[in-house]
Amino acid sequence: MWAQEIIRAKRDGAALSEAQIQSMVRGLVDGSWSEGQIAALAMAVLWRGMSRAECVALTRAMRDSGRQMHWRDLPGPVLDKHSSGGVGDKISLMLAPLVAACGGFVPMISGRGLGHTGGTLDKLEAIPGFCATPEAALFERIVREVGCAIIGQTADLAPADGRFYAVRDISATVESVPLITASILSKKLAAGLQGLVMDVKCGNGAFADSPWMAQELAHSIVGVAAGAGLPTRALITDMNEVLGQTVGNSLELLEAMKYLRGEAREPRLHALTLALAGEMLQLGGLAVNAADAEAKLQAALDSGAAAEKFAQLVAAQGGPADLLERPDRYLAAAPVQRLVCAPRAGRLSAMQTREIGLAVVELGGGRRQAGDRIDVRVGLSDVLPLGTVFEVGQPFAMVHAADDPAAERAAAAVLAACDFSEPEAPWSPADLIQARVG
């Protein structure tokens, strides 16, 4: 089929047939579709949309464009969680070993930082020796023996999605809900999952910055996943403030390890980790209801089983076996720390969370361009939650920077992104979990 005729059909609002979609996906893989043609189709989809049937066909075709994993003879369900991206979102680091400690198997395929949001792989690669792209046989062995592994997308896993996404990234078409859906699910289906939980972030620190967009994305993912044979649930969760107390690669890794060791569990971070992991246990038949799931997850934390799974994962993927016990030996600290203090007495009433994420990117903790090198040391720690009442000059965050000028700029940016109201002004916290879909 001619590429231009497929593009013309979608441009004019027609639904693409399964044969047309499969032809396009073959063109992505064999190079017979040019970047211009891929970009034109992506723009047509952005404007014209896709039906549920079209999106299911695209998801399956991209899944089938490369290698697929098959998990035979495992004594438990194969499960995963995916987040649409947030600021301070380090939940995957705790969730994968936590679910594994409860009897699940988690072959997690994660991404790198995108825009103002951090990436799980970048955090893990702050660990010396950690390999985020092991050979397929090693990846499968780690999942079978440890119960979880976290890797990046490999060239042979949904390769059509890899090329499609690269073009979408440079053609202003990333925001298309059908294409986001197919991109996420093609990789998850190729990973051989039996259940998926989606964390759709909503708020000023999320790509879905409105409840309407978050609902659209959540319903699209759950519906298309069902059409492709993957049981999926979605939680729409608040991203109007930093999740946890840190932003930045090594700093978030340290917070995750403190969480697993039981040294510090920030309440919102803990609640969301248990909620997402609990949905996974219920999907996989490892818990009969939410209360049963929470009890099992808390027991895995309290016993140290989840922390042990994390240590095994790190060692199996090339990191030091004693990272949990001696993190300071392996994770270098930024040379400059600078407090960010309340400019007046009052209540921290709002954050422009995206701007806080961008401040960390400016410190070197994220990428402006794909090839940029990340400084894993930099970021924010000791970030206090919305609703906290301060005296004038009381610190509410700590900047970690490579030098004094960078620290000054970041501190000013964080301060500008935060609003303080009168202490007695009415205030109530946002719902952490705004909706459940599926």
**Contact between 423 and 389 (Cβ < 8 Å):** yes
Task: Identify the three-state secondary structure at position 340.
Answer: strand
Short-list 130, 178, 185, 181, CA closest to 157: 185
Type of residue at 372:
D
Identify whether 188 is a catalytic site residue: yes
Identify whether 296 is a catalytic site residue: no
Of the candidates 23, 59, 65, 83, the residue annotated as catalytic is: 83
Q: Where are the beta strands (DSSP E) in 35-138?
A: 79-83, 106-110
Identify whether 123 is a catalytic site residue: no
Of the candidates 23, 120, 246, 273, the residue annotated as catalytic is: 120
- Please state, in angstroms and rounded to a whole number, the distance separating the CA atoms of residues 362 and 382: 19
Q: Where are the beta strands (DSSP E) in 2-105?
A: 79-83
Of the candidates 63, 81, 163, 347, the residue annotated as catalytic is: 81
Of the candidates 183, 250, 273, 381, the residue annotated as catalytic is: 183
What is the torsional sign of CA 189, 158, 375, 241? negative
What interhelical angle do 249-261 and 267-283 show, nearest 10? 70
Of the candidates 23, 65, 80, 117, the residue annotated as catalytic is: 80
- Please state, in angstroms and rounded to a whole number, the distance separating the CA atoms of residues 117 and 112: 9
Of the candidates 187, 265, 268, 296, the residue annotated as catalytic is: 187
Of the candidates 82, 90, 233, 338, the residue annotated as catalytic is: 82
Of the candidates 163, 168, 296, 338, the residue annotated as catalytic is: 168
Task: Identify the three-state secondary structure at position 322.
Answer: coil
What interhelical angle do 18-30 and 3-11 show, nearest 10? 130
Identify whether 81 is a catalytic site residue: yes
Burial 98-117 (b: 16+ CB within 10 A, else e): bbbbbbbbbbbbbbbbeebb
Identify whether 258 is a catalytic site residue: no
Tell me the catalytic residues. 80-83, 120, 168, 183, 187-188
